[in-house]
Amino acid sequence: MKIHIFILCYNEEVLLPHTIMHYKTYLPNCNITIYDNYSTDNSVNIAKELGCNVILWKSEDPEYENSIDDNMYIQIKNNCWKDISDGWIIVCDMDEWLCVTQKQLLIEQEIGTTFLSVIGYDIVSNSKKQDLSDIDLHSLKEGIYHKPESKKMCFYRPKINETNYEFGAHVCYPEGYIQYSKNIYINKHMNWLGIDFITKRYQERHERIKNIPIDREGRPEHYTDDNTIMRKKHNWKLKCKKVIEKLE
Protein backbone atom coordinates (compact mmCIF):
# COMPACT_ATOMS: atom_id res chain seq x y z
CA MET A 1 0.00 0.00 0.00
CA LYS A 2 1.40 3.37 -1.05
CA ILE A 3 1.12 6.48 1.10
CA HIS A 4 2.14 9.89 -0.20
CA ILE A 5 2.51 12.84 2.18
CA PHE A 6 2.79 16.45 1.01
CA ILE A 7 3.90 19.06 3.55
CA LEU A 8 4.17 22.83 3.08
CA CYS A 9 7.23 24.46 4.58
CA TYR A 10 8.89 27.80 5.28
CA ASN A 11 11.62 28.09 7.93
CA GLU A 12 10.52 25.02 9.88
CA GLU A 13 13.90 23.66 11.01
CA VAL A 14 12.62 23.19 14.59
CA LEU A 15 9.51 21.15 13.82
CA LEU A 16 10.57 19.53 10.55
CA PRO A 17 12.65 16.60 11.90
CA HIS A 18 9.94 15.83 14.48
CA THR A 19 7.18 15.93 11.87
CA ILE A 20 9.11 13.54 9.63
CA MET A 21 9.75 11.25 12.61
CA HIS A 22 6.04 11.28 13.48
CA TYR A 23 4.96 10.19 10.00
CA LYS A 24 7.79 7.70 9.56
CA THR A 25 6.79 6.13 12.89
CA TYR A 26 3.10 5.86 12.08
CA LEU A 27 3.56 5.20 8.35
CA PRO A 28 7.02 3.65 7.83
CA ASN A 29 6.59 3.13 4.09
CA CYS A 30 5.35 6.63 3.31
CA ASN A 31 6.86 8.87 0.67
CA ILE A 32 7.20 12.48 1.86
CA THR A 33 7.41 15.54 -0.38
CA ILE A 34 8.22 18.94 1.10
CA TYR A 35 6.94 22.00 -0.77
CA ASP A 36 9.39 24.64 0.42
CA ASN A 37 8.79 28.37 -0.12
CA TYR A 38 12.55 29.11 -0.30
CA SER A 39 13.28 28.80 3.41
CA THR A 40 16.16 30.91 4.71
CA ASP A 41 17.01 28.49 7.54
CA ASN A 42 18.23 24.88 7.34
CA SER A 43 14.85 23.33 6.48
CA VAL A 44 15.74 22.17 2.97
CA ASN A 45 18.98 20.47 4.04
CA ILE A 46 17.24 18.73 6.93
CA ALA A 47 14.45 17.50 4.67
CA LYS A 48 16.90 16.10 2.13
CA GLU A 49 19.00 14.44 4.82
CA LEU A 50 15.86 12.73 6.12
CA GLY A 51 15.08 11.32 2.68
CA CYS A 52 12.29 13.67 1.66
CA ASN A 53 11.65 14.93 -1.84
CA VAL A 54 11.93 18.73 -1.89
CA ILE A 55 10.14 21.01 -4.35
CA LEU A 56 10.97 24.71 -4.19
CA TRP A 57 8.30 27.23 -5.14
CA LYS A 58 7.83 30.98 -5.28
CA SER A 59 4.74 33.15 -5.39
CA GLU A 60 3.42 33.70 -8.91
CA ASP A 61 3.06 37.37 -8.02
CA PRO A 62 6.54 38.99 -7.59
CA GLU A 63 4.96 41.65 -5.40
CA TYR A 64 4.29 39.03 -2.72
CA GLU A 65 7.38 36.86 -3.30
CA ASN A 66 8.54 36.96 0.32
CA SER A 67 5.04 37.05 1.80
CA ILE A 68 2.66 34.35 2.94
CA ASP A 69 0.71 33.55 -0.23
CA ASP A 70 -2.42 31.64 0.74
CA ASN A 71 -3.54 31.68 -2.88
CA MET A 72 -0.49 29.63 -3.82
CA TYR A 73 -0.86 27.41 -0.73
CA ILE A 74 -4.33 26.39 -1.89
CA GLN A 75 -3.19 25.82 -5.46
CA ILE A 76 -0.45 23.52 -4.18
CA LYS A 77 -2.72 21.59 -1.82
CA ASN A 78 -5.36 21.11 -4.49
CA ASN A 79 -2.93 19.93 -7.15
CA CYS A 80 0.31 18.52 -5.68
CA TRP A 81 -1.08 14.97 -5.61
CA LYS A 82 -2.65 14.81 -9.08
CA ASP A 83 0.27 13.07 -10.79
CA ILE A 84 -0.29 10.14 -8.44
CA SER A 85 -2.88 7.52 -9.37
CA ASP A 86 -2.84 5.12 -6.44
CA GLY A 87 -2.54 4.90 -2.68
CA TRP A 88 -3.45 7.25 0.14
CA ILE A 89 -2.70 10.97 0.16
CA ILE A 90 -2.04 13.21 3.17
CA VAL A 91 -1.83 16.97 2.57
CA CYS A 92 -0.80 19.02 5.58
CA ASP A 93 1.23 21.82 7.14
CA MET A 94 4.38 21.17 9.12
CA ASP A 95 2.59 21.53 12.47
CA GLU A 96 -0.18 19.04 11.61
CA TRP A 97 0.42 15.47 12.76
CA LEU A 98 -2.29 13.07 11.65
CA CYS A 99 -2.37 9.97 13.85
CA VAL A 100 -3.18 7.03 11.61
CA THR A 101 -1.24 3.80 11.03
CA GLN A 102 -0.67 1.78 7.88
CA LYS A 103 -2.81 -1.02 9.32
CA GLN A 104 -5.67 1.40 9.93
CA LEU A 105 -5.43 2.78 6.39
CA LEU A 106 -5.45 -0.73 4.97
CA ILE A 107 -8.62 -1.55 6.93
CA GLU A 108 -10.26 1.71 5.80
CA GLN A 109 -9.36 0.90 2.22
CA GLU A 110 -10.84 -2.59 2.47
CA ILE A 111 -14.18 -1.30 3.76
CA GLY A 112 -14.47 1.38 1.09
CA THR A 113 -13.46 4.54 2.96
CA THR A 114 -12.18 7.31 0.69
CA PHE A 115 -11.76 10.18 3.21
CA LEU A 116 -10.73 9.96 6.85
CA SER A 117 -12.89 11.69 9.45
CA VAL A 118 -10.54 13.85 11.52
CA ILE A 119 -10.79 15.69 14.83
CA GLY A 120 -8.23 18.40 15.55
CA TYR A 121 -6.58 19.31 18.84
CA ASP A 122 -4.16 22.09 19.72
CA ILE A 123 -1.38 20.25 21.54
CA VAL A 124 -0.30 22.44 24.45
CA SER A 125 2.98 22.40 26.37
CA ASN A 126 5.22 24.81 28.27
CA SER A 127 8.66 24.52 26.73
CA LYS A 128 11.04 27.20 27.92
CA LYS A 129 13.23 27.03 24.83
CA GLN A 130 12.68 28.39 21.35
CA ASP A 131 13.96 25.16 19.80
CA LEU A 132 11.75 22.96 22.05
CA SER A 133 14.80 20.93 23.08
CA ASP A 134 13.61 20.65 26.69
CA ILE A 135 10.45 18.63 25.88
CA ASP A 136 9.60 15.37 24.12
CA LEU A 137 7.11 16.40 21.45
CA HIS A 138 6.12 12.82 20.66
CA SER A 139 4.95 12.04 24.18
CA LEU A 140 2.65 15.07 24.54
CA LYS A 141 -0.97 14.04 25.18
CA GLU A 142 -2.59 17.20 26.50
CA GLY A 143 -4.46 19.72 24.41
CA ILE A 144 -7.66 21.52 23.51
CA TYR A 145 -10.23 20.66 20.85
CA HIS A 146 -9.75 22.97 17.88
CA LYS A 147 -12.39 22.65 15.18
CA PRO A 148 -10.41 24.40 12.38
CA GLU A 149 -7.83 21.59 12.60
CA SER A 150 -10.47 18.91 11.99
CA LYS A 151 -9.36 18.89 8.38
CA LYS A 152 -10.15 16.56 5.50
CA MET A 153 -6.45 15.96 5.05
CA CYS A 154 -6.26 12.26 4.14
CA PHE A 155 -7.97 10.55 1.21
CA TYR A 156 -7.77 7.52 -1.08
CA ARG A 157 -6.47 8.82 -4.38
CA PRO A 158 -8.14 6.41 -6.88
CA LYS A 159 -11.59 7.59 -5.80
CA ILE A 160 -10.97 11.33 -5.52
CA ASN A 161 -10.74 13.71 -8.48
CA GLU A 162 -10.68 17.10 -6.75
CA THR A 163 -10.35 18.34 -3.18
CA ASN A 164 -11.30 22.00 -3.69
CA TYR A 165 -9.67 23.19 -0.48
CA GLU A 166 -10.43 26.74 0.59
CA PHE A 167 -8.00 29.09 2.37
CA GLY A 168 -6.20 27.35 5.20
CA ALA A 169 -7.55 24.00 3.93
CA HIS A 170 -9.98 24.06 6.86
CA VAL A 171 -12.84 23.41 4.44
CA CYS A 172 -12.96 21.43 1.22
CA TYR A 173 -15.56 20.28 -1.28
CA PRO A 174 -14.21 17.02 -2.71
CA GLU A 175 -15.31 15.48 -5.99
CA GLY A 176 -15.37 11.77 -6.71
CA TYR A 177 -16.67 8.87 -4.66
CA ILE A 178 -16.91 10.22 -1.11
CA GLN A 179 -17.16 7.84 1.84
CA TYR A 180 -16.01 9.16 5.22
CA SER A 181 -14.59 6.80 7.81
CA LYS A 182 -16.69 5.84 10.82
CA ASN A 183 -13.57 5.93 12.93
CA ILE A 184 -12.33 9.41 13.79
CA TYR A 185 -8.60 10.07 13.64
CA ILE A 186 -6.72 12.73 15.60
CA ASN A 187 -4.83 15.61 14.03
CA LYS A 188 -2.31 16.95 16.53
CA HIS A 189 -1.77 20.65 15.89
CA MET A 190 1.78 21.13 17.15
CA ASN A 191 1.69 24.88 17.63
CA TRP A 192 1.21 26.01 21.24
CA LEU A 193 4.26 24.23 22.59
CA GLY A 194 5.96 27.06 24.49
CA ILE A 195 5.73 30.83 24.64
CA ASP A 196 9.14 31.53 23.07
CA PHE A 197 8.44 29.06 20.26
CA ILE A 198 4.97 30.35 19.42
CA THR A 199 5.80 34.07 19.66
CA LYS A 200 8.74 33.63 17.28
CA ARG A 201 6.52 31.80 14.78
CA TYR A 202 3.79 34.41 14.92
CA GLN A 203 6.22 37.33 14.74
CA GLU A 204 7.89 35.88 11.65
CA ARG A 205 4.56 35.23 9.95
CA HIS A 206 3.24 38.65 10.90
CA GLU A 207 6.31 40.15 9.23
CA ARG A 208 5.53 38.16 6.08
CA ILE A 209 1.99 39.55 5.77
CA LYS A 210 2.84 43.21 6.35
CA ASN A 211 3.06 43.98 2.63
CA ILE A 212 -0.19 42.23 1.78
CA PRO A 213 -3.18 44.61 1.46
CA ILE A 214 -5.70 44.09 4.25
CA ASP A 215 -8.51 43.57 1.75
CA ARG A 216 -6.64 40.98 -0.36
CA GLU A 217 -8.46 37.67 -0.48
CA GLY A 218 -6.74 35.00 1.54
CA ARG A 219 -4.70 37.35 3.71
CA PRO A 220 -4.21 35.54 7.08
CA GLU A 221 -5.42 37.73 9.92
CA HIS A 222 -4.51 35.72 13.01
CA TYR A 223 -0.77 36.39 13.12
CA THR A 224 0.47 39.10 15.47
CA ASP A 225 3.72 40.50 16.82
CA ASP A 226 2.10 41.45 20.13
CA ASN A 227 3.82 39.30 22.77
CA THR A 228 1.29 40.27 25.44
CA ILE A 229 -1.57 38.85 23.39
CA MET A 230 0.36 35.67 22.66
CA ARG A 231 1.30 35.18 26.32
CA LYS A 232 -2.34 35.56 27.39
CA LYS A 233 -3.49 33.03 24.79
CA HIS A 234 -0.77 30.57 25.76
CA ASN A 235 -1.52 30.88 29.48
CA TRP A 236 -5.22 30.33 28.81
CA LYS A 237 -4.47 27.19 26.80
CA LEU A 238 -2.19 25.90 29.56
CA LYS A 239 -5.02 26.31 32.08
CA CYS A 240 -7.64 24.68 29.84
CA LYS A 241 -5.66 21.78 28.38
CA LYS A 242 -6.78 18.25 29.15
CA VAL A 243 -5.49 14.76 28.43
CA ILE A 244 -6.71 13.63 25.02
CA GLU A 245 -8.15 10.23 25.87
CA LYS A 246 -7.64 8.70 22.43
CA LEU A 247 -3.91 9.40 22.71
CA GLU A 248 -3.60 7.48 25.97
Question: What's the rounded Cα separation, in Å, for the pair 76 and 6?
Answer: 9
Q: Is the pLDDT of residue 247 over 90?
A: no
Please check the confidence at residue 221 and state whether its pLDDT lies above 90. Answer: no
The 10 Å CB-count burial string (b at 16+, else e) for 54-90 is beebebeeeebebbbbbbbbbebbbebbeebeebbbb
Radius of gyration of the chain measured on its C-alpha atoms: 18
- For the chain, the straight-line distance linking the first and the last C-alpha, in angstroms and rounded, comes to 27
How many angstroms separate the CA atoms of 177 and 98, rounded? 22
pLDDT for 87: 97
What's the burial of 219, exposed, middle or buried (CB within 10 Å: 0-12/13-18/19+)?
A: middle
What is the percent of the chain where pLDDT is above 90? 82
The domain locations on the chain are 3-247
| Cβ atoms of 19 and 97 closer than 8 Å | yes
Q: Is 20 helix (H, G, I), strand (E, B) or coil?
A: helix
Average pLDDT for the chain: 94
Rounded CA gap, 190 and 97, in Å? 7
- In the chain, pLDDT over 70 holds for what percent of residues? 97
Instruction: Measure Cα distances from 202 to 21, 159, 167, 180 in Å.
Output: 24, 37, 18, 34
Residue 202 · residue 230 · CB < 8 Å: yes
Q: Indicate if the pLDDT at residue 248 is higher than 70.
A: no
Q: pLDDT tens digits for 40-87?
A: 999 999 999 999 999 999 877 766 677 788 888 999 999 999 999 999
Q: Where are the beta strands (DSSP E) in the chain?
A: 3-9, 31-36, 53-56, 88-93, 96-99, 115-124, 142-145, 154-156, 160-162, 175-176, 180-192, 242-243
| CATH top class, domain 3-247 | alpha beta
The model's pLDDT over 103-159, given as tens digits with 9 standing for 90+, comes to 999 999 999 999 999 999 999 999 999 999 999 999 999 999 999 999 999 999 999
What is the predicted pLDDT for the residue at 215?
A: 75
38: confidence class by pLDDT, cuts 50, 70, 90: very high
Nearest-angstrom CA–CA distance, 154 and 191 = 20
